[in-house]
Structures are given as structure tokens and as C-alpha cells.
Copies of this chain bind each other. A is one copy, B any other.
């Protein structure tokens, strides 16, 4: 058994005063008598008391609340990760509070600040599109609040993180289109400022090259919403660019493209085969149903919670973990030519 960590409670018990008095004495609070402060500080020194905030939260002031910060709950992927977090949380008797950044760095920072000054045990988060800076997150860690990143991370930060293998997922999606006979595959891509989009685009490029096809940069178009997909397809059809497959960065974009093509009496998958990314429930509901790359959102949430519990248990000393989850291809009607 490890040496027991000395806590505020131990000091309080030894001196016969309350833990909150010890806590305030250590912080030099004006309400506490100088004599009490002296006693507390001397005993703290003698017992080699070290204010380890994680240990403290575990031992003295457990709120059993974990905060989650996500860009937007309206995206099915984020709400499914949250479901996974909540499932694991319930097993450990923890409660989950959710806040949204709405893709704004300022709101994300504000939420971090609120949580820094609150009673939560830790934060599991996915950063906003705008977030470049890591100071607001470092400030949490410095306060002793463990932070776990999922899906959207800040590159180069020394922190526990769990991500999807986006490059491999995009590679599988594109390779599947090649297998179905597609030779000119359009990639509807996410913004090139986001690491996830870059990884998916790189996976697409890798599959095109490994298949011995010509990589045509004109076929890579930044377009990542249902609405944009409709106008992008309109432009492509008018420009008489020839293409026989589409790999879209997410499912809604794929469906937007598909519906526009169907309205023009282009047959799916015979003339143009389509693959999305994310395996949103809607992929199964549209007609033809949409082939997609399944991201294990719930699994990601459950694993993120396990990483959090490990961090709480082991403190700052344990090495940081990086977990990468694999995706899988779900073939449906939109690409099934054979």
C-alpha cells in the first residue's frame, strides 16, 4: 500500500478544529486568528502536507461532478460521446454537467474560467473551431483540475487525449469508392484550418495515390454542410466537371449532395456513388441509404471517462495517454454497385 497522503482533514483532526478553518488558515484568510494560522502551518510543515488539489478533491471536497465542454450538442457525434461519458459516469456515481462553446474560443474560455472557480472534479472537452491558444486549459491544469481531450485536441499539448483515426477512416471510404469502380472522386472537405479535416483529406489523397489514380486538386472542394453541398453540386454540374464518386467529410454534406443529384435525375449509386463520414442515424433513414464511416462516439465517451478516472487516481505523476480509436465502413445503398 502506498503512503497515505496527508490531507486538510488530518490536520483538522489533529488540532481539533474544522477542515474549513484549516483550509482558510493555509490561505491566510483574514477571519482566522493568527494563533490558529501559526498552529496549522507548523503542523502542515511537520506532516509534510502538500496541497495536491486532485487528492484534495478526492478526499475532502468530492462533488462527484464532471464537466463536459463541447462545440455543439446538436451534432449527433457530440451527443453520442456525451451519452458514453454519462454511461461510464453513472457506473462510478458521477454526475455530468454539459456546456457548449458554440465554436467560439471566447465562450470556451469563459466556461473554463467558471469551472476553474467551481466545485467540479475535472473536465472532458473537445475544443472549438476557433481555439488555437492553450492558456485557458493550462490554467485549469495548474489549478489541479484534470482535463481530458476528445476528438478535437490542441496539437502538441501534454494531456490525456482520445481521438478517432480520421486519416484511416477517410482512406477506407475512398478505397471503397475505388473498389466500386469510381475513378474521378470528388472530396467535399472540411475547413483546412482544422486538424480533423486535414487528416480526412490526407486519407483521401493517400487512397487515390495508392490506387494509382491521378490526384486532381480541383476535385477537393471545401464544403461541409447540407446547404453548401447543394450549391457546390450545382456548380460542379454547370462546370461540366466529370466525376463518378463523392467522399464527403460528414454525413449531412453527403446527403445534401445526394439529394441535389437525385433532383437532377442522376442515379445513385449507378452514375455517382457516395460515401459520408460519421454514421449519423440519418444515414440509415435517407433513400437510398448512405454508406458511411462509423465513428465510435459512445465508446469514445466511455473511454474518455476511464482516462479521467485514471488521472484522478494516479495524479500528475502518471504518463499522459493518447488513445486512437478505429473506425469502420458501413456499406449501404448509396455506394453499393455490385
Q: Please give the residue numbers on chain A whose beta carbons come within 8 Å of chain B beta carbons, in ascending order.
A: 17-18, 20-21, 30-31, 63, 65, 73-74, 76, 79-80, 82-83, 86, 95-100, 102, 110-111, 114, 118-119, 226, 252, 255-256, 259, 262, 281-282, 285-287
Contacts and interface: CB of A to CB of B under 8 A. Distances in A.
A273 to B, nearest CB: 17
Contact of A95 (B17, B80, B110): B110
B96 A96 contact: no
Nearest to A76: B74
Given A30-B18, A98-B99, A259-B287, A82 B86 contact: no
Copy total for this chain? 2
Given A73-B79, A287-B286, A99 B99 contact: no
17 contacts: A17-B31, A63-B114, A74-B79, A74-B80, A74-B83, A82-B100, A86-B100, A86-B102, A95-B99, A95-B110, A97-B98, A98-B99, A98-B100, A226-B281, A226-B285, A252-B285, A285-B285
Contacts of A287: 259, 262, 286-287
Given A17-B31, A118-B119, A286-B287, 18 more contacts: A18-B30, A21-B31, A63-B114, A65-B114, A73-B82, A73-B98, A74-B83, A79-B79, A82-B100, A95-B99, A95-B111, A97-B99, A98-B100, A226-B285, A256-B285, A259-B285, A259-B287, A285-B285
Nearest to A30: B18
Nearest to A80: B74
Contacts of A83: 74
A118 B118 CA distance: 9
Contacts of A31: 17-18, 20-21, 31
Nearest to A255: B285
A122 to B, nearest CB: 15
A108 to B, nearest CB: 12
A286 B79 CA distance: 22
A334 B312 CA distance: 53
| Among A118, A256, A285: residue with most chain B CB under 10 A | A285
A278 to B, nearest CB: 14
A256 B95 CA distance: 34
Nearest to A17: B31
Nearest to A64: B114
Contacts of A110: 95
Nearest to A113: B95
| Among A76, A262, A282: residue with most chain B CB under 10 A | A282
A288 to B, nearest CB: 8
Nearest to A263: B287
A307 B157 CA distance: 43
Given A259-B285, A287-B287, A97 B95 contact: no
A164 B297 CA distance: 32
Contacts of A285: 226, 252, 255-256, 259, 282, 285-286
Nearest to A287: B287
Nearest to A24: B31
| Among A95, A262, A281: residue with most chain B CB under 10 A | A95
A287 B259 CA distance: 8
A240 B312 CA distance: 60
